Every structure is written in structure tokens, then in C-alpha cells.
Structure 1
Amino acid sequence: MKKLLLYFSLLLILQSCWYTNHDDDYPGMRSSYEPITQSRKDFEKSISLLGERPVINSGKIYVKDDLIYLNELGEGFHIIDNSDPTKPNPVAFLKIPLATDLAIRNNILYVHHAVDLVAFSYSLNSNSLNISHRERNVFPELRSPEGLEPSFYNVPENEVVIGYQQLN
């Protein structure tokens, strides 16, 4: 009896390792969302330097020398001149759609831009941005609110999912 119980337990544990063709196909599943996509070419051009604007939905704060980079959740970073800490001066808004994080090393800023990692430098004196490198597809693709991957929606390879909209 103990042997039979042991075999049954092993069979039950190993059952989770069996592959079925339904694992990748989402059989019969429907979504109440559809992806909003952008061509890879347009997506890579979506980073821009704009004039300063009010902070609406702030996220993390980064400080490098006399500059403060304040994340506007999912939209980019406010650049603030903090050379006089008693009067911080907003100077620009770095528009980076779907930006969630930033790291700075040796005056190079690294930003999470949806699925890509982008390296660039910013000059306060000339208020200019210089993108030096883009590493494509470093981060996972944006999932739907239901937790479905873009592959469920058959998103073409040359498209990047930038959001989801609910179907009526």
C-alpha cells in the first residue's frame, strides 16, 4: 500500500511537467483588451526634450551633481536645476514614454524605455540630449491588465506594445 501511495504521489508531481499543446495557444480564451502598438521606428523616435511642465504624477527622484531627475510615471523625467537648493529651477521635461526607471553613471543616463534600455547624456548648458546607445528588447514586453503577453494578440515583431485599451 505504501508503494502504491508513493507511485501515485510521484505521478501527481510529475504530471505538472507534461507538455500539452494548450500551454502556448490560450485555447478558447478571449480578452477584453486590445494592444495599442507603435512601429519600432516611431517608438525609437519618441524620446524628446521638451520645455518644463508641471509635475502631475511623480515617481522616483534621482540626483546627479546639480541636477534632479524626477520621474513622471510612464511619461518621462522632469529635469530640475538644483544649483541653488533654496530655489530649485525646473528646466526641461525629458519625454520618454513608458519610462519607469533611471540610473546614472559617469554622466551617462540609462533609462528603461518600455522594452529597451537607452543610454544618453544631457547638457544643462546647452539644454541638449545626446542618445548614445539603445539596447533593444532588454525588458519584458508590456502585458495586458489580464496578464496576457503580446504574443496572445499576435503583435508583429516590428511593433512595440505601448498600452492596452478595453474593448466595448
Structure 2
Amino acid sequence: MKKSLHLLLLLFISLSCLPEPREPVNGVKFDGTGYKPIYASADEVAKIEFTAAKPLTEPGKIYVSDPYLFINEMGKGIHIINNTDPKNPENLSFIAITGNYDMAAKGQFLYADNLSNLLVFDISDPKTPKLAKKVADAIPVSNYPPYQNIYFECVESKKGVVIGWEKVPMPEQPRCFR
């Protein structure tokens, strides 16, 4: 009897040491997945490159400046396409811009976001665009994913600048929720 009482007491103590499951936040239960920030250094974010054409993989917005098309590659930059022959468009080049999701144009200028920075390109010759100006911290940036009712790892600014988010399996419920 004494031995079984000791075993019961030992079992009770060991179970009391397990972490308590967290309560759902706003009624949303943790499903074992969450969003993890993708970091880059400030130097990587600031680097704007004019490169050879790349295939479109995740296109976003399109701007038309006849006969050219400027097509956003979500989070990565802008494709420049010669559309003189719409049946056979020619992918000319790519402007690599980390954190680029939006763009607009007026006249000979193309405006693009680079996370919190606003970039202005002179596209008077679309075959050879030129960075005309960079306005630092012109666009507010949030340190949380662009989704609602999700769990995510809290941002650690010492790791760098958040340039995106990826959904990953997580062994335990993260502290941050949106």
C-alpha cells in the first residue's frame, strides 16, 4: 500500500510539472502551425539590382507604358516586358527589390515600395530604367503577418529586418497572435 501511494504521489508530481496547454486566443485554437518571420540584413534590403530577365513565378500588379509592361513579382521586384507583339511578349529584364509588393507610375516615373522605403525609377527609356530617388521610411511597415486570427513568432529586431512570413509547423503555441 505504501509503495503504491509513493507511485501515485510521484505520478501526481511529474504530471504537475507539464506545461499547461494555453487557452485559445479570441476563440482560435492553436493547430500546430504558425507564421515565422523571414529576416534579411539592412544591407540586403537596401540592395537594388538591375538583372537579366527572370521567369514570372508569383506575379502581382501590372503597369502598362505602351509598348512595355512592368509586372510586380511579389516580394522580389519588377519584370520589364516588351509587349510590342502581344502574341509574343519579350521578357527584357528584372529589377530586384526586396520587399516589393506594390508599384504605380506616372509619366516617366515608376514608384515602387522596398519595405518601408519608396523608390522612384526614371523609365523614360524602359529598357534601361534608372533609380532616380530613394525616400527612406516613407511607408509604414508592421511587424506582424498580413493575416488575421493567426499565431506567429514574435519579431526579434536583433535578427534583422522582416521581409516576409512563412507558415511552418510549430511544436508549441507562439506568444504572438493577430
Give the TM-score taking structure 1 as reference length: 0.63
- C-alpha distance in structure 2 between counterparts of 1:78 and 1:68, whole Å: 8
Match in the other structure for 1:136: 137
CA 86–34 in structure 1, closer or farther in 2 if over 3 Å, else same: closer
Cα deviation 1:59-111 (Å, max 9, x = unaligned): 22110132101122222221101233343211011212221111111211111
- C-alpha distance in structure 1 between counterparts of 2:161 and 2:138, whole Å: 10
- Contact 1:35-1:164 within 8 A present in 2 as well: yes
Pairing 1:76–2:77 present: yes
Cα deviation 1:139-166 (Å, max 9, x = unaligned): 2234146466x9x43414x942113454
SS of residue matched to 1:100: coil
Match in the other structure for 1:110: 111
RMSD: 2.9
- C-alpha distance in structure 2 between counterparts of 1:63 and 1:51, whole Å: 20
1:88-103 map, 5 Å: 88-103=89-104
- C-alpha distance in structure 1 between counterparts of 2:53 and 2:117, whole Å: 25
Aligned length: 133
- C-alpha distance in structure 2 between counterparts of 1:51 and 1:64, whole Å: 20
- C-alpha distance in structure 1 between counterparts of 2:56 and 2:136, whole Å: 29
- C-alpha distance in structure 2 between counterparts of 1:116 and 1:79, whole Å: 21
CA 34–84 in structure 1, closer or farther in 2 if over 3 Å, else same: closer
SS of residue matched to 2:102: strand
- C-alpha distance in structure 1 between counterparts of 2:82 and 2:155, whole Å: 43
Cα deviation 1:4-28 (Å, max 9, x = unaligned): xxxxxxxxxxxxxxxxxxxxxxxxx
- C-alpha distance in structure 2 between counterparts of 1:33 and 1:124, whole Å: 37
Match in the other structure for 1:35: 37
SS of residue matched to 2:55: coil
- Contact 1:51-1:93 within 8 A present in 2 as well: yes
- C-alpha distance in structure 2 between counterparts of 1:96 and 1:119, whole Å: 12
1:43-58 map, 5 Å: 43-45=45-47, 47-58=48-59
Cα deviation 1:97-135 (Å, max 9, x = unaligned): 22111111121111122222211224335x343242233
Match in the other structure for 1:153: 155
- Contact 1:142-1:163 within 8 A present in 2 as well: no
Shifted more, 53-62 versus 35-44: the winner is: 35-44
Q: Percent identity?
A: 27
SS of residue matched to 2:84: coil
